[in-house]
Structure 1
Amino acid sequence: MKPFIYLAVLLGGCASAQAVEYTDVNRTASQISFTYQQLGQSVYGTFGDFEGTLSFDTQKPEAGHALLKIQLASIDAGSPDANDELQRASWFDTATYPVGVYESTAVTPLGGNRFKISGNLTIKGATRQVEVDVVLKEQGGIGVFDGKFILKRSDFKIGEGEWAGNSVVSDGIDIKFKMVAPQR
């Protein structure tokens, strides 16, 4: 039911004739969302409280870096009961692990303003390498970094006990994000 994150973070860039740098993430215009299957039905949710830092030059995308910190208690999985359940130890254990963190370690340009961002995602004290597909859309002085990846909740012990496995909630959680950054 949730994943965080993640995830997630955005760095992408494009090779334009002139170098364009992005450094500040506009939290108000940015979004982290997720979808998962619960008892065969698609469920949508978001994380409302996160902060990101970005250092990205379209002429040197390989040198890019992103850091995303998500307040896991800010999850909105569609109902107050679900949101409360996700705070518990068997899910995010937000009393012990309040923040999910994604930090990039490498940016690989794929052409056409597409990038593969490799990095480390840490949730509930577990760190796993995650690769994120990102597309950079440049719109009038603003860069919009759209990304997605699939989070396996079993990798982070999210949904333990009766919630483990795929019988009630899918192990694979689709994470999508839109990070908006003005040109520097």
Structure 2
Amino acid sequence: MNRFALSSILLALLGTAQAAPIDAAKSSVKFVFTQMNVPVEGQFKKFAADIAFDAAKPEAGKVSISVDLAATDAGSSDANQAVQLKEWFNTPAFPRATFTATQFKTVSPGKFQAVGQFGLKGRSANLTVPFTVRAEGNGQWFEGSFPLSRLAWKVGEGEWADVGAVADAVQVKFKLFVPK
């Protein structure tokens, strides 16, 4: 390989955004659902994410998020056990939810959309996730929220498919800190 080709490859690699892991201790992934007309907030206690994003060059961004569904806190010990069952997340068969995106759009200054593949309970589909970015000290905060239809993802099947007890709409909220 000649020097020119090697130099071109190295420059291309240097121009590629390198993903950095989030600081999980500072970050959170939560959800809100309505049960018997009462909003209930829960959270995922274990998750990992790698983010490469520069607001000046959003087209070069990439993100990969994996949520450990067995570490779900749905508000009570009974609910925590129930969400592991086949009718809900079926964690023995599908232990993780994932989101991977390499397409980003600028909506307005500081506001963006990530377009990628969301996977849950053996299914995968395109998902657009709005988010904001702000610098703070030695890193960046990525924050946003998006709605999911639990029934579209077969979360809460059988007797739980009746939206009278648990509403179909679930709001997912995230706050991720990526240190420099």
Same fold (TM over 0.5): yes
Matched letter for residue 70 of structure 2: A
User: Per the alignment, in what secondary structure is the counterpart of residue 156 of structure 1?
Assistant: coil
SS state at 2:165 partner:
coil
Does the 8 Å CA contact 1:148/1:174 hold for their aligned counterparts? yes
List alignment gaps of at least 5 residues for structure 1: 1-19
Q: Is the 2:19–2:62 contact (alpha carbons within 8 Å) kept by the matching residues of 1?
A: no
CA distance in 2, matches of 1:96, 1:22: 29
Change (3 A) 1:43 1:33: same
Q: Secondary structure at the match of 1:90?
A: coil
Name which of 156, 159, 164 aligns with 2:153.
156
Structural mapping, 1:1-184, within 5 Å: 23-183=20-180
Identity of aligned residues (%): 32
Flag structure 2 segments of 5+ consecutive residues without an equivalent.
1-16
In the alignment, residue 68 of structure 1 is paired with which amino acid? I
Q: Which has the higher helix share?
A: 2
Q: TM-score scaled by structure 2?
A: 0.87
The ranges of structure 1 where at least 4 consecutive aligned residues each deviate by more than 4 angstroms after the TM superposition are none
Count the aligned residue pairs: 164
Match for 1:110: what amino acid? V
Q: Equivalent residue of 2:56, what SS?
A: coil
Distance 2:143 2:84 in 1: 27
TM-score by length of 1: 0.85
- RMSD over aligned Cα, in angstroms? 1.5
Contact map agreement 2:55 2:110 (CA 8 A) in 1: no
Q: Rg: which structure is higher?
A: 2
The farther-off stretch of 124-133 and 31-40 is 124-133
CA distance in 2, matches of 1:57, 1:105: 13
